[in-house]
């Protein structure tokens, strides 16, 4: 019996333009989510470094929470990840 293994990226380009590996990701016990950390997790999932399920499990996130980060980046750039500014970005 053979196991199918997913092709996983060794690194992706992070939000600041530098290479980002699994070792560079925020620790799994992160409780304070600053813009940079959120953007790194989104970049890791988009680039195939982590799957959505792995990221949610690793960081105790809900799928909705992760998707809201991703949507904020798409709609407003990194500034959209500021929790103190979220009211200004809502339609």
Q: Dump pLDDT digits (tens) for 41-90.
A: 999 999 999 999 999 999 999 999 999 999 999 999 998 898 765 555 55
Q: Which domain holds residue 37?
A: 11-26+33-75
Within-domain flag for 68:
yes
Q: Could you tell me how far CA 73 lies from the centroid of its own chain?
A: 10
3-state secondary structure (DSSP) of residue 46: helix
3-state secondary structure (DSSP) of residue 13: strand
* pTM score above 0.85: no
Within-domain flag for 45:
yes
Within-domain flag for 18:
yes
> For the chain, how many structural domains are there in total?
1
Within-domain flag for 20:
yes
List the beta bridge partners of residue 20: 12
Within-domain flag for 52:
yes
Within-domain flag for 64:
yes
Q: What confidence tier does 7 reach under pLDDT thresholds 50, 70, 90?
A: low
What is the CB neighbour count within 10 angstroms for residue 47?
14
CATH number at residue 53: 1.10.10.10
């Amino acid at each position: 019996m053979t196991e199918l293994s997913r092709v996983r990226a060794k690194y992706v380009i992070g939000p600041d333009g530098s290479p980002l590996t699994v070792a560079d990701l925020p620790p799994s016990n992160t409780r304070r989510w600053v813009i940079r950390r959120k953007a790194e997790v989104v970049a890791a999932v988009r680039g195939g470094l982590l799957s959505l399920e792995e990221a949610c499990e690793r960081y105790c996130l809900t799928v909705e929470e992760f998707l809201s980060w991703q949507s904020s980046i798409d709609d407003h750039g990194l500034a959209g990840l500021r929790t103190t500014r979220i009211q200004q970005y809502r339609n």
